[in-house]
Structure 1
């Protein structure tokens, strides 16, 4: 039996009522708590203590089928082979006969009746338990039942009557605190965990004992320690037994609970009821009722943004979904968000999480989102979207266009990657306009790495490819070549200096050097084929160190 750390007060109370039953006193105890909080473990403790003291124990559990056959739980609890027949006049006479059966058992000695998951007990069995609870006085009998928070019993009236008995005690199981979580980690994981590690475990599991145990199990399987260095690995863990446990409960809870929970796991903070409804394909009121039910179960937070109480549940549900199911929801979310003109970073996250697809619609959306991300400064995510679009594109011509766009986008922060994709685009380019644009940006990226001679060579190659098909574009590239050649000579000349010391407090401006300065000057200056004006503007930019705004791409 697992140690019940953090449940010491509850254990003392249960030990006391078991002892009272052995002394001839009666009581009703209702253990209530969320999924995985330890209700069944406490019932097992009651059974073990009672049997150790020589008290007879009868046990039953609410069935997995709903609705259950009449008196199924009573038959299991009392060992009856056949359920009693209920006459047309009602069930009171049958309830009285069953009560007499129990009273005769108690004449032989104290009795403990234990019923797990009373919310799944059939209506007549629950009605009889309430009938029995009202008549315990004078019997050496303890009735202990468990019920999860948020679950509706087969008969709310009978359950309310059970809770309304005078001598009943309710035990509400709260989440474990950080110290209890640390104690479990130490008990099963070895050394005392660091405070940071224990705090993160508490946050991810919400202090839910079952989830803590499953997390500890996975830590052991993967050989992960419990120190600060290992804490960074925790958010990525997704115990499969957590997913199976939650999925099983949700499948029994309502028709749409599991589907809604999966969609919420995919949206992860972006959830809005209308978005959930469209992704699930169910009515708005059904979504609202399902979300309310998941909140009452203790799986979702009440109020505000829709979010899981236990992050580990969200991670486990998400990771255990089939890849095609995850992709379907992510792509659906991206398309719905695009129709609402949502934030590009959010759409990009869903598109990238979905995996490659051959859909022209998604490829176009990837490109649109990449353009928006670039304008917002999210260059890495924009690049990832363009790379995904390239993978998804089936048309060679379209692939060249996308590689060209990606190469241009990368030139702002990764010149080596920019050159790689521009060269790939060059290998498949077919038109003079494509070759001209590739040559222009490939030369600038090469110059930015400090190799102006190589940049000039790139322009020579592309002038040869462009000149015959489009002399105007060829002239434009030759203009670039002339500017880079002149700036190359300027950069190789010794820099002038006034030799005076820098004034205290004078700002120091970080400016590119060598080929980078030349490329930046060209970007600032070039606006057409006015070579004289272009050279003058570039020389001025170099002389005045006015290159800080040189990030705009020349197109």
Structure 2
């Protein structure tokens, strides 16, 4: 009743009272969205304050401006239906499109959203299915917005389902640069506000619109418009006090006067405060009851069925005939209980609440049970039926258990694991029979793992302990293995599960048996202190074939075992065999499969093969919308690139892995950070690396596990680069101790020793330095690794003097001559060139130093290049200077985007692959063009290539 009619005699023009400022704010935000400045608009206030009227105004303005408007409305029942709000908004558009249009809408990453709108039996098994769905929905909207600006209106968002709220929260910071306005009405409540709504308020960049109660003058205007000019000031004031200026309550009050035929002269102002707000519910129920029991039954059906209250469904629900139900619906419309149209709907959520809350708890449960039967007979989708089952009382009905499980599978496949968890927990309450319970508990544990619920481990263990089915136990054990990887203690405790499940399932599923064997090998690898553990277990499979996915997984552990004994070429061969199955670059099979293969290929200096595998894995993760798998592949590729000396590319990968937030973010952040710290140290950006260490909390004590080896190595090298030699020594010795406790399964002892020797020399600990260098040489010869041997000979040469130093450094240069480990080659050349200069062999020194300088420049190793330049000048040479311009001036993010654009990827493809917005890509490309001195993406490839065709 915010509307006042104005006009001269003829048709009146409606006007919202006292909402000019709110309407202006809405109009400005809508205009900005139409121009491409998308945003989130919240309209917040108590029930009845006029939030829906403001959304209706926005709907009209948007439609008149040529924007496409999608609408949805939250409700208590809809909260149990995964992505219910999203489906209200977009389902008819997606499913109603012809084949060509549907392909356009679901192109690219938007395909990941398809399971939200299709009642699929199951979805492809991918990690991060919840995030992948949000990622797909975002790009579905982006595709929709290519044709026309969009407005998404969600009324009563406080009653939205959790997955839809999660999507709105995902969408809010990504609207900039898109012609999309998302407008939500949210009811303020004295009770606890849902965390997602608080977060949405923070994410809303537009001012929050909070409509205020009507003033006494506005109330008087409306009272006199309806009751006549004779309504006195006292009556108008009483109406204002009784309703608090709330438009809905005022509407109900004046409607009651109108329905009873009371005029202003017959109304006692002192009686007004007895009518509202407490008696609104009573008034609604009286109006319904006056129409008879059948009308009450129909009204209750509408309140219970919610968005699915079509007349035909209500007929089956109530037992009324079609004609009678239609007449009663019309009568309820006349009584201002329902609005005209399909589905049947109450005129205001408060009216639906009044009817629904008049039901006892038992009556509600019974009516929802009836809704389940009716909707099942009509073959309604499983999610809707599941939402009603959540509101029923447990009754030991096995058919209800089956429907809840089906609804949970659909929810999980559709990217709504939290809904699946609620449905499966309700299935356990029913309860199922003893034989079925372990399966449900296992499914619940898997769904809980998807949302990071700590109960996942408890439920998976219950399934393992209680099931009599070997397949159920084996699948639960594998899910448990994933849920707490790479926690060494948890994996250690689960060894008996892997062994038992593998022995039981062998007769039924050989692949699953081998996956369990792989999980056991992974647990043993993470716990090297177990006597006769990993080595003996891996040796059992040394002659095993490598054809199937699980066989290739096993072969990767055999390759890892080969690193302990050498030569590294054998491990490289085994790793290439383990990489044969295409699953390695898709879902991975086991968290350590790809890691094993990468480490072995890297140690064998087969960097091209490793990069190829990891690049394919990244492309697959991008298509599947899995930030977890993308981060895992990206940090490994960064590790490989750093090893070969491609410092800027390694930094790009490392930073991307650190920035990605997925289910495994804590696991992937630290390895990615290791790559970034290493590359910054080698580029001479020590202050930047120090700040990053502090910012990411890697500057203090590290968790005493094997996974601290690489952080300790990177931090030790950084301390050494900064001249903090005592700190460097402590970190490197700690790393070496942990590696030695792994009995060689973590193969970085050579790198640690090569980093440690110069530190010990700087501290004057020459004896320890020589001993460490000798150990490095000895181990490298056993491993038959050119990189390890070249690096060990170099630092051994630094411990020597005179002819011995020259001989050792010359041998190191010869060993590394054909090595693709460019940074170590460059360091060895510079050290040898310096030794030659000090020995007075200036001519040979200049040639060696120039070669080292060129390699250092190619690697972007600024401190090493500076050293080579100084030594070259000291030897009488004139080195070329290279300034950090062009491609060298790009940030890691700009470089990443520019490289992808140079490969021919569109801005949308890049944004989808990197899980960022189009605006972010546009900004990075704009900055890259300016720094490279070019104007278009056609010039990128040439600008990113340096002298001799080498990447800058």
Using CA pairs under 8 Å that are at least 6 residues apart, name the structure with larger relative contact order, 1 or 2: 1
Q: Give me the TM-score of the superposition, normalised by structure 2.
A: 0.29
Q: Give me the TM-score of the superposition, normalised by structure 1.
A: 0.48
